[in-house]
Amino acid sequence: MKFKLVAYTEYESSFNINIGEYHIQSLCGRHRKIIGSYDYNKNIRGNILSLHNECVLTRVVRRLNKIGIDIELSCNFPWVYLDSVNSVKITEKKNASHGYCITYNTDRRNLRFRKDLFKKIREEL
């Protein structure tokens, strides 16, 4: 989701550190947020920010649930495995030694093996 910076406020914390707060608003105007920061750059008002505030795995599971596809995931750091699709157990091993790996848990914003995930979902449906 893209946000526009609307305002910046700065206050002093109890540790004598200046802490800033960015007041941002979505481009459609329906969503507002306040993000804290130690950045002292106040002259970025009006800039467009791309804010991913939720993990990609959470977004994928939620969006697939909306269209009636229920997936279960498991994790053995750093691998994230696809366990089942609509209660059908996945036994194939791919991209890892112990299961069907769809991403690594080191980067929350990217789904590393996106094509493999959706290909397997189509096979199981």
Place of tokens 């089942």: 84
Tens-binned pLDDT, residue by residue, of the chain (125 aa): 677 777 777 777 677 766 677 777 878 777 777 776 544 444 444 555 555 555 788 888 988 999 999 999 998 888 999 999 999 999 999 999 999 999 988 777 788 899 999 999 999 88
**According to the model, what pLDDT value does residue 106 have?**
78
Instruction: Give pLDDT, residue 37.
Output: 58
- How many Å apart are CA 50 and CA 29, to the nearest integer? 15
Token pair 């609307």 is found at 6
- pLDDT, position 52: 52
Residue 78: helix, strand or coil by DSSP?
A: coil
Residue in 73, 121, 120 with CA at minimum distance from that of residue 94 = 120
List the structure tokens of 23: 């007041």
- Residue 74, token pair as written in the block: 């498991």
Q: Give 24's strand partners.
A: 5, 33
Task: Measure the CA–CA gap between 67 and 87, rounded to whole angstroms.
Answer: 15
- Phi/psi for 100 (5° steps) reads -90, 95
Contact 118, 71 (CB under 8 A): no
DSSP three-state, residue 39: coil
